[in-house]
Amino acid sequence: MNSRLEPPATPVLTTRLPAVGTTVFTRMSSLAAEHGAVNLGQGFPDFACEPALVDMVTEAMRAGFNQYPPMTGAPVLRQAIVDKVAAVYGRQYDANTEITVTAGATQALTTAILCAVHPGDEVIVIEPAYDSYLPAIELAGGVPVPVQMELGQAGYAIPWDKVQAAVTARTRLIVINSPHNPTGSVLREADMRALADIVRGTGVLILSDEVYEHMVYDGQRHESVCRHAELAARAFVVSSFGKTYHVTGWKIGYVAAPAALTVEFRKVHQYNVFSVNTPMQHGIASYMADPKPYLQLPAFYQRKRDLFREGLRGSRFEPLPADGTYFQCVRYDAISGLPEAEFAEWLTTEIKVAAIPVSAFYRQGRESGIVRFCFAKKDDTLALALERLARI
C-alpha cells in the first residue's frame, strides 16, 4: 500500500441551516468559564432540585421502570399533567389523545413546527424570540415572518395591529411565548382577546411556548392558552418540567393539543425521539401529587428578582420591567456605547459577569443597548455578581 497516497476526501455536505453557528448561550458560557466570570447568561439554576424528587426517580428505577415507556409518555405522568392543567387553568384534556411527553420543551417546539408547517407556509414569530424557533421553521421549509415587540414605559408589548397586518393567506402558524424569554414580559387577558380576534375564522394554528408558566409576579396570573377555549382549540401548548422543578438537564417537557393536532404531532415525535426517559417520568408523576412546589414558585423567584433589582440600584444599569421568567433585561447606555455582543463579551472578560445580548434574539441582530441577566441563582451568586456590576 502506498503510504504517500492522499487520505480519503470527505464529501461536501450542503448545510440545511446556513445561518446557524454555535449558539450565543454556548459561547457566553464558555467565555464565562474561561475567565472565571459569574455566569448570569445561560438560563439555568445553580442550585439543586428538591431531594424528594431525586428520591422518587431513584425509587422508580429500583421499581423496574427502566425500559421503553409508551411513545406518548408514561400514562401516570400524562394523567398527572391533565389533572394539573385542569386544576390550574380549568381546561380538561384527554390523557390518551391530547397529551404527549417530550424530550424537553425545545423538542416539543420543533416537533410541533415540523408537523404543522409545510414548504412555503408562513410562520409569524414575535421578536425578540427564543433561538430554536427560526431553525425549526427553516428545517420545515417554512418562511419566518418576524413581528417585533415594542418597548415602552410598561416594558415590552406585542403590537397586535402589526401581527394582524402580517397575516396572509399563506400564514400557517403564530408562535407566542409567555412569560417571555428574553424580555420577562407576560401576556395579559387583553392580549389573548387580541390574538383570538386575529385567528378567528382562519386556519391559522398557534404554538404557545409556556415553559416559564409558574414564574409570573406581583399577583398577576399566567394567561395560558389553556384558559381560552377558542385559542386552545387550535393550539399546541408547550411546558417544561426542567424549568418548573430546577432540573433543566433532565430534558422532560410536554405538549398539550387537541386530538386532531396531537395525531400529527405524534407522527413526527415517534421518529425523532420516540420516547422519553422512563424513571424520570415516573418520578415526576409521583412528585406532582403535591402541587406546592409549582404553586410556591412565583414567590420563590419573585424574591430573587426583587433581590437582584434592588442590587442593581447601586449600579449604572437601568432595569426594565420584569413581570415573569427568571430573566432581567437592563439598559447599559449610561455605561457604554458598544454593540450588545461586544458589551456582553467585555462584561464577561473584564467585569467577570456573563450576560446575553438581546440582539441575539433577533433574526437581523437588532441593536437596542440591552443585555439579559438570569437571576435563577443562589443568593451568594447574585450577591457576588451585583458587587462586581456596582463597580462599573
* CA 368 centroid distance within chain: 21
Residue 3 confidence (pLDDT) above 60: no
Give the separation between CA 122 and CA 154, rounded to whole angstroms: 30
Residue 1 confidence (pLDDT) above 60: no
Give the separation between CA 341 and CA 370, rounded to whole angstroms: 10
Report the pLDDT averaged over residues 255-271: 98
Residue type, 363: R
Residue 369 confidence (pLDDT) above 90: yes
Task: Provide the pLDDT for residue 341.
Answer: 96
Report the pLDDT averaged over residues 325-332: 98
List the one residue out of 158, 167, 218 whose CA is nearest residue 193. Answer: 158
Report the pLDDT averaged over residues 313-333: 97
Residue 281 confidence (pLDDT) above 90: yes
Report the pLDDT averaged over residues 274-286: 97
Segments making up each domain of the chain, as ranges: 24-49+295-390, 52-291
List the one residue out of 382, 299, 375 whose CA is nearest residue 42. Answer: 375
Residue 367 confidence (pLDDT) above 80: yes
Whether the model clears a pTM of 0.85, i.e. scores above it, the answer is yes
Judged by DSSP in three states, 305 sits in helix
CATH 3.90.1150.10 fits 24-49+295-390, yes or no: yes
Task: Provide the pLDDT for residue 119.
Answer: 98
Per DSSP, which regions of the chain are E strands? 38-39, 99-102, 122-127, 143-148, 150-152, 155-157, 171-177, 205-209, 235-240, 253-256, 318-319, 327-331, 353-354, 356-357, 370-374
Task: Provide the pLDDT for residue 365.
Answer: 83
Residue type, 295: L
Phi, psi values for residue 177, rounded to 5°: -145, 115
Secondary structure (H, E, C), 100-157: EEECCHHHHHHHHHHHHCCCCCEEEEEECCCCCHHHHHHHCCCEEEEEECEEECCEEE
Report the pLDDT averaged over residues 129-147: 97
Lowest mean pLDDT among 40-44, 71-75, 333-337: 40-44
Residue 2 confidence (pLDDT) above 80: no
Residue 237 confidence (pLDDT) above 80: yes
Give the separation between CA 291 and CA 338, rounded to whole angstroms: 45
**Helix-strand-coil split of the chain, %, nearest 5:** 40, 15, 40
Query: Helix axis angle, 278-287 relative to 51-62, nearest 10°?
Result: 130
Report the pLDDT averaged over residues 225-245: 98
> What does pLDDT average to over the chain?
96
Q: What would the pLDDT profile of 24-40 be if each residue is shown by its tens digit?
A: 888 999 999 999 999 99
What CATH number should be reported for the domain whose range is 52-291? Answer: 3.40.640.10
Q: Distance of CA 121 to CAs 124, 126, 174, 176, Å?
A: 10, 16, 11, 17
List the one residue out of 225, 252, 224, 265 whose CA is nearest residue 78. Answer: 252
CA dihedral 373, 378, 381, 385 (to 10 degrees): 30
Residue 149 confidence (pLDDT) above 60: yes
The band of 317, judged by pLDDT with boundaries at 50, 70 and 90, is very high
Report the pLDDT averaged over residues 148-164: 97
Task: Provide the pLDDT for residue 321.
Answer: 98
Task: Provide the pLDDT for residue 155.
Answer: 94
Percent of the chain predicted with pLDDT > 90: 95
Residue type, 258: P
